[in-house]
Structure 1
Amino acid sequence: MNTATRRTLAALALVLPTLALPQTHPAGGHVHPAAGPAQDPAAAADPRRPVAFPEPLRRHTLANMRDHLLALGEMQDALAKGEFDRAADVAEQRLGMSSLKTHGAHEVARYMPQGMQDAGTAMHRAASQFATVAKDASVTGDLRPALAALARVNQACVACHAAYRLN
């Protein structure tokens, strides 16, 4: 098993328990799928570190993260269609280091703990690296390095979301 696979599995082991979605209980409340009807999901502790942002910045940051998910989907779609330059452009403009000013990263970073800042920087750098590798794929025709680079972008997102949550 290679290093990237081990990192992915380790990140998934941290994140999967937090991914189960609540289900509606017949009595009208919500029940965590693994909890059973007698357990209140609000009582279950969220192990992620809460991070408080002023409300306008919180909304802005959540909107940015939703756009990051859309960008990841567009990058995957472009790769699937062999549109490597489009995948690279989406990555760099919406997720890469070139996107920091658009996202207001300097303003948001003031409210982030250092580990969250580091995770964000890792994601933005990984996206810029993906952009370079995706452009290389347009010349070589080899999709594997681009897929590996895309996995690193996703792993950076997963690591941050596993460790932190916005209040």
Structure 2
Amino acid sequence: MNKKCFGIVAILLLVIAGGIYKFIFQGSVSINADGRTAIHLNPEERDLVLAEMRAFLTSVQKITEGISENDMQLVADYARKAGRAAQAEVPGTLMAKLPIQFKQSGFDTHSGFDQLAMDAEDLGDSNDALSQLSLLMQNCVSCHAAYRIDSSGK
């Protein structure tokens, strides 16, 4: 009886480990013909991710405007809009479909915007803000080079 229970527990642990790998690390992905990782989302999830990217782009434009006008409050306001607070609306079902590297890059980018907001308010240095924005844009460029968002049609 002990061997039977041990076997069942071992199988269950393997299933759990597989689920953790699939939903935490791998996500719902495949390699696309262009070499990028295709993330497969349903149309609503895809729309949510693309809306977040457009919000990033709006923030980047307003931050750039704030830097050019030395309006560090504008920089802080729009950096904060792209910060960690923007992640609150992402459902767990969507997070499970995203590969770990994509999630890490997203978390880093949101945190970077929060740091930019704090530094813009505390330091008021447009050159520092521009440097931070340049680093954040590297995240965007590398993400777009590595991933594409495909609709699974479900």
TM-score of the pair, normalised by structure 2: 0.71
Separation of aligned partners in 2, 1:161 and 1:109:
18
1:1-167 aligned at under 5 Å gives the runs 45-93=33-81, 95-102=82-89, 104=90, 106-138=92-124, 142-167=125-150
More helix as a share of residues: 2
Residue 108 of structure 1 and its aligned partner are, at CA, apart by: 2.7
Gaps of 5+ in 1: 1-43
Structure 2 residue identity aligned to 1:49: T
Structure 2 residue identity aligned to 1:58: R
Alpha-carbon spacing, 1:45–1:113, altered in 2? closer, same or farther (3 Å): same
Aligned residue pairs, count? 119
Separation of aligned partners in 2, 1:79 and 1:117:
28
Separation of aligned partners in 2, 1:150 and 1:162:
18
Gaps of 5+ in 2: 1-31
Residue 143 of structure 1 and its aligned partner are, at CA, apart by: 2.0
Structure 1 runs (4+) deviating above 2 angstroms are 105-108
Identical-pair percentage: 28
- CA offsets, 1:52-88, max 9 Å, x none? 0111110121122112111110111011111101211
Higher normalized contact order (CA 8 Å, seq sep 6+, divided by chain length) = 2
Partner SS, residue 148 of structure 2: strand
Q: Do 1:133 and 1:149's aligned partners in 2 also have CA atoms closer than 8 Å?
A: no
- CA offsets, 1:74-108, max 9 Å, x none? 11101111110121111112x11122114x26443
